[in-house]
Structure 1
Amino acid sequence: MVSLKTVRQSNAALQAFPPGIVAVFAGATQGIGLATLKQFAKYVSGPKAYIIGRSHEKGKHIIDQLKILNPMGSFMFIEAQISKFAEVDRVCEEIKSLENHVDILCMSMGYLSLGGRVETPEGIETNRALQLYSRLRLTMNLLPHLERSMSPRIVSVLSAGFEGPLDLSDLDWKSHKSYSVFKAAAPASTMMNLFFEELAKDHPTVSFVHSFPGVVATNNVDNMFAHAPGLLWFPAQIPRYTVVPLLNMFAAISPDEAGERTLFLATNARYPPAEDHIEARKMGGFVDRPQGVPFAASTIMKEGRGNGVYRVNSHGETCKDSALLKGYRKDDIGKVVWEHTMRVFAEALANRDENGNGNENGLREAEANVSDTDSLDFELDLKS
């Protein structure tokens, strides 16, 4: 376990690094993402952050807060609905036109809902787009700029360690009769790991981190119950005002701690890329690995070398590998996930008409309570 004291010491060491670390944050207008963004502003000297979100008004308020934390920082809010791949592409092109490199990509977007399947105008279930496909597209689009960094790292805050089996005949869950955010979460986590492992083969100088933040006292679950559909609203208010406050009070860590730990994952040399950083003329991380804390184990280790992909729990430790993932690697299912995802991207963009029309009303309703993910989502999934 990496102690919070060690995490804070590592983050504080970022202040000695020269100005100009560039980070992209998706899902950082509240919750864990916002907490990580604030820690980034607090600790990094002369930071530069691009914040992707749906509300320009909320973004302006966040930037005002960040400027108080670090008047020397540069913070830009980019308004976008990144459940849509066309919007992801637009945002990435804007960032790439302004920067010659990106050091950190931190993604935590997603939301909870007790309702059923609602598709984006591109034909993708909204939350699945946010928690999986949009993250993978952001990653792919920004990888060329990340590879120009001295210490490139991608952190996806989701549900490492809570992977579930895949339905290889229906990886995007379109033919499941009763779609549920909770049921779809575990397979999405599996696909995230396998896709990162495929990317790492061709991008060995980049570190890929898939993390589970633990039980965090965000408003994600409260939002879910507050926006419960139809007759579900009335019974949903019981756990909203009883169970959730108790969990937040006695079992959850604060968003600030989750943000500190996520910044550690994004900057510490404990999670190096596959290619030796000295041979690649890069750093293994912006901050040296803490004394007495070993290197984390990658998802695939061979002759003492890792593949640069990490499944990390709430304490910063590598999740125990599972027989499920080992079996999928043996059967080369990562390639299946890769090909499926490329098909999803192509079909989704083709589904948009020339005016960009689609199920906009349903999409806006589904995303009314979008925030970044927290661990409680997936603990509930395991118990359902």
Structure 2
Amino acid sequence: MSDLTAPDADAPPPPARLAYGRHTWKEVAHLLADLPCALAGFVYAVVTIALGVGLAVTVIGLPLLALGLAGARGMARSERARARGLLGVRVEEPSRLPRRHGFFPWLWAQLKDPVAWRSQLYGFVRLPWGIVTFTVTVVSLFVLWPVLPFIARGLTNVDRAMVRGLLSPSDELERRIAELESDRGVVVDTAAADLRRIERDLHDGAQARLVALAMGLGLAKEKLLDDPDAAAAMVDEAHGEVKLALQELRDLARGIHPAVLTDRGLDAALSAVSARCTVPVKVGVDLPARPAEAIEGIAYFTVSELLQNVSKHSRARSASVEVWRAEDRLMLQVRDDGVGGARLDGGGTGMAGLAERLGAVDGVFVVDSPEGGPTVVTAELPWRDRAPATGGR
């Protein structure tokens, strides 16, 4: 995700003058540093690509290439900082690659990262230009001293164009499309897992009870004339099985989409799920209207799972749930005063799964849980207006 606040726009340097000013000295310093920086970038690009491609037929080739591309992002970041400090070029930092779980998804994301490949291209083309700028600047310092400000301005304007052209997030749209394609796969996998869970719950729960109920009623039918008392007992037992099966079906339906959420919205639904938490939970919902059903459902199940984590892992004495709207985002925050230590990458709390689900709909999931607590989980979802209800005759 991009930084929440974009950098300021480029501040155009003042016109070059015969007198040496602060901006001229900064430009000269940048030009003199071009050669060592370009040499380092060129060597890094050649070595990482040559090793990665040359060893691609082995098991270590592609991982080496992926690591080299990841490092190229870091070198590009330092070049943007150098241009920002000395040339006043303020280029927005590219978005981070989406978090990947598993080696092969991470490898593929690194290998197709356009930002990293453009950073490597920048390392290639910078070396000849760095030699030119260093040589011209050194000669100008001793031979063309009076017009050095104009020479430095012309050379650094090329530097500015290269930074903007190769190190700016100009292809963010293409990367965002690739990210959304990956997120679509997460949504499909999540939906498939939910369907398997529903199938398993039906098979092991309500279906098994209904099979037993059918067998019990069949036996009761056979004994109805010969042993009415035994048949009555079997019918009574079957009646209990029917109640249990109905309860299991209600619980399963609540897990798919609770009726209270459909009928009364997030405030009532979150109050109901908070009442089942093992610690006291304070709920505050401040929404001007109800969001779209899909967003409302994701918000509900996110809070529900977080409160389950509070019950199972936090050892908290109290918790709170806050939901509000901030411009075009639906914000939710779950806080507890427990022992802390919750992490996105482990612990069996399902945090990574929640982060993936929210990321698939362009959401954000942040966990702040130092050892000793408190734990604060903040989630953002895109606000989408609820479709108007349609009625029929």
**TM class by shorter-chain length?**
under 0.3
TM-score by length of 1: 0.18
TM-score (normalizing by structure 2): 0.18
- In terms of fraction of residues, the more helix-rich structure is 2
Q: Which has the higher contact order (CA 8 A, sep 6+)?
A: 1
